[in-house]
Amino acid sequence: MGRGSLQQGEGGVFQFSIPSEYEGARYIPLSGREGDNVALPSSQMGWYQGETVLQILDGFEKDRPPLDKPFRMPVQAIYKFTNFDDQRRIVAGMVETGRLRPGDEVVFFPSGKKSRVKTIEAFNKSSPHEALAGCAAGFTLQEQIYISRGEMATKLGEPKPRVTSRLKTSLFWLGRDPMVKGKEYLLKLGTARVPVKLEEVHRAMDASDLHLFNGKDRLDRHDVGECTFKLRRAIAFDLAEEIPATGRFVIVDQYEISGGGTILESLEDEQTWLREKVLLRNLKWE
């Protein structure tokens, strides 16, 4: 990414040139302490006739729901109702991306089990026609299969998530104690909770002074590291550059969130070949 350049023009006035990738950016002279140009125009900067910070913020457009991406819904819970002869089993969760309609075939990862959507369910209202990204939703299946919290619901025919127990990640460590090899932590991604160990630190940087480290074997507080993790079992996820919502995670140490990061790469593990055979069998099973 390019950088701007500061040059002195006529009359001693400094000019800042903006690179092409920043075209459209707005610059506001302000004082947070005095409140100049924050909510109201400043009386101390008569030479600036532009908008205030709040006026600029009011003009921002809210991100649109990622409906164009593959369907992803981490399974939060399975609800079974028995009163009034209600036989529904509702798979519930937050739809992160995409959309789901009755009749769609769904595949759950990492198990690879599949079924077809019977109905879309919502709390305390009639069944909607579809479940959309950004909404908490539930659905029932035509054929009942055993799934559990932590699985990821996807649609057959769309790009599949990655499934493995080894991850290459970018991690920011905030824990009071350093992250070390051999110690077991807890990785949370979506609704999945999996024990994890630090396998290797490829490189690290101290975010407080931007000092780079090579060959470091641990991450200290405020370190940003490119690391490889080994999970106790495989989970389903996407790369952060493809679907950010299912490519982000946090690390828990002693009941405290001590780090967070994104998944850069899916690495093979010793069960890769076996897992692929099981997934293929489950997808073809009738």
Q: pLDDT: is 132 or 2 the higher one?
A: 132
Domain 162-272 has CATH 2.60.40.10: no
Residue-wise pLDDT for 222-253, tens only, equals 999 999 999 999 999 999 999 999 999 999 99
Residue 11 has pLDDT above 50, yes or no: no
Residue 265 has pLDDT above 70, yes or no: yes
- Which is nearest to 229 in space by CA: 202, 272, 198? 198
Residue 18 has pLDDT above 70, yes or no: no
- At residue 6, the pLDDT reads 43
Residue 268 has pLDDT above 50, yes or no: yes
Average pLDDT, the chain: 87
Question: For the chain, which residues make up each domain, given as ranges?
Answer: 5-58, 73-155, 162-272
SS3 for the chain, per residue? CCCCEEEECHHHCEEEECCHHHCCCCCCCCECCCCECCCECCCCCCCCCCCCHHHHHHCCCCCCCCCCCCCEEEEEEEEECCHHHCCCEEEEEECCECEECCCCEEEEECCCEEEEEEEEECCCCCCCCCEECCCEEEEEECCCCCCCCCCEEEECCCCCCEEEEEEEEEEEECCCCCEEECCEEEEEECCEEEEEEEEEEEEEEECCCCEEEECCCEECCCEEEEEEEEEEEEEEECCCCCCHHHCEEEEEECCEEEEEEEEEEEECCCCHHHHHHHHHHHHHCC
Check if 73-155 and 162-272 are the same fold: yes
- At residue 1, the pLDDT reads 37
Residue 61 — very low, low, confident or very high, per pLDDT cuts 50/70/90? confident
- At residue 189, the pLDDT reads 97
- At residue 90, the pLDDT reads 93
Residue 21 — very low, low, confident or very high, per pLDDT cuts 50/70/90? low
Residue-wise pLDDT for 98-120, tens only, equals 999 999 999 999 988 999 999 99
Q: How far is CA 244 from the centre of its chain?
A: 4
- At residue 99, the pLDDT reads 96
| pLDDT (average), residues 37-59 | 89
For the domain 73-155, what is the CATH superfamily, name and number?
Translation factors (2.40.30.10)
Residue 45 — very low, low, confident or very high, per pLDDT cuts 50/70/90? confident
Residue 15 has pLDDT above 50, yes or no: no
Residue 85 — very low, low, confident or very high, per pLDDT cuts 50/70/90? confident
3-state secondary structure of 10: helix
Residue 283 — very low, low, confident or very high, per pLDDT cuts 50/70/90? low
Residue-wise pLDDT for 132-144, tens only, equals 999 999 999 999 8
Q: pLDDT: is 199 or 18 the higher one?
A: 199
Q: Which amino acid is at 84?
A: F
Residue-wise pLDDT for 179-198, tens only, equals 999 999 999 999 999 999 99
